[in-house]
């Protein structure tokens, strides 16, 4: 039964993406606010389906830690959920995405229209220069730069080294870095279609102020995110329709 519910949700989410993405395509020719309105409508329906079909609810804690204006947001990454949810609790995020995602039909159209930051991971040093340039431009507009410092989705309980891009952004932008811990992978895994009923918690942690040296920053960021994510996983409620 749970597999059928999970499959139904996948059809719901991607079916909506196709139908609404095409229906709202004229918005891509207008200001970014038009596309944002389409994205917001899609997300409301997606998260409604997540609750109604899969029995998964979610909450955000610590919103008081998000600074007004430009900031660097460093989030744990376990699931596609983590790239969708921030649009509901951050004012105007610019998410750092791998280049391949920009080529996807419909999703890529809106990702580029929303002026997210695309990174070509094969370009090495050139990619870092482009990343910093684009991030400075978005931060100057008062947007929050969202990066997943692990560089890829990980399973709950995994502790991997963080990529150096987050440290470069922290030093270059000179803005607070806000860590985010979460346990989304327990309900919405990074791979496969199965969804497990329960409650996802996204916890926004106390910001790291600008000025820390690289080693201290990386160690502190890693420890805060991983410790808090482990605590959320340990206290999670899964396996029933909450």
What domains are defined for the chain?
57-234 (3.40.1130.10)
Q: Return the pLDDT at 239.
A: 62
Q: Return the pLDDT at 241.
A: 42
Q: Strand pairing partners for 95?
A: 146
Q: Which of 234, 238, 202 is nearest to 88 (CA)?
A: 202
Instruction: Decide the pairing of beta strands 93-98 and 117-119.
Output: parallel
* DSSP designation for 176: -
Give just the sign of the alpha carbon dihedral 86, 201, 75, 188.
negative
Q: Give Cβ neighbours of residue 174 (< 8 Å, ≥ 6 apart).
A: 210
Report the chain (242 residues): mean pLDDT per 10 consecutive residues.
93 97 96 96 98 97 90 96 96 91 91 92 79 92 94 90 94 95 96 94 96 97 97 77 40
């Amino acid at each position: 039964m749970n597999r059928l519910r999970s499959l139904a949700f996948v059809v719901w989410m991607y079916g909506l993406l196709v139908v609404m993405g095409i229906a709202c395509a004229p918005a891509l020719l207008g200001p970014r606010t038009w596309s944002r309105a389409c994205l917001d409508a899609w997300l409301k329906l997606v998260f409604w389906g997540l609750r109604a079909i899969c029995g998964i609810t979610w909450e955000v804690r610590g919103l008081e830690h998000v600074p007004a204006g430009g900031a660097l947001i460093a989030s744990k990454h376990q699931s596609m959920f983590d790239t969708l949810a921030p649009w509901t609790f951050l004012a105007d995020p610019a998410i750092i995405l791998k280049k391949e995602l920009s080529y996807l039909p419909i999703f890529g159209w809106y990702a580029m229209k929303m002026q997210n930051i695309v990174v070509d991971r094969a370009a090495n040093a050139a990619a870092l220069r482009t990343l910093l340039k684009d991030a400075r431009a978005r931060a100057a507009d008062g947007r929050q730069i969202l990066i997943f410092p692990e560089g890829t989705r990980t399973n709950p309980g995994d502790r991997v080294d963080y990529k150096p891009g987050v440290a470069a952004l922290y030093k270059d932008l000179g803005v607070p870095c806000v860590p985010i811990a979460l346990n989304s992978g327990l309900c919405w895994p990074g791979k496969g279609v199965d969804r497990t009923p329960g409650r996802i918690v996204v916890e926004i942690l106390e910001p790291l102020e600008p000025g820390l040296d690289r080693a201290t920053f990386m160690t502190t960021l890693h420890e805060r995110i991983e410790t808090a994510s482990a605590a959320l996983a340990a206290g999670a409620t899964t396996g029933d329709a909450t």
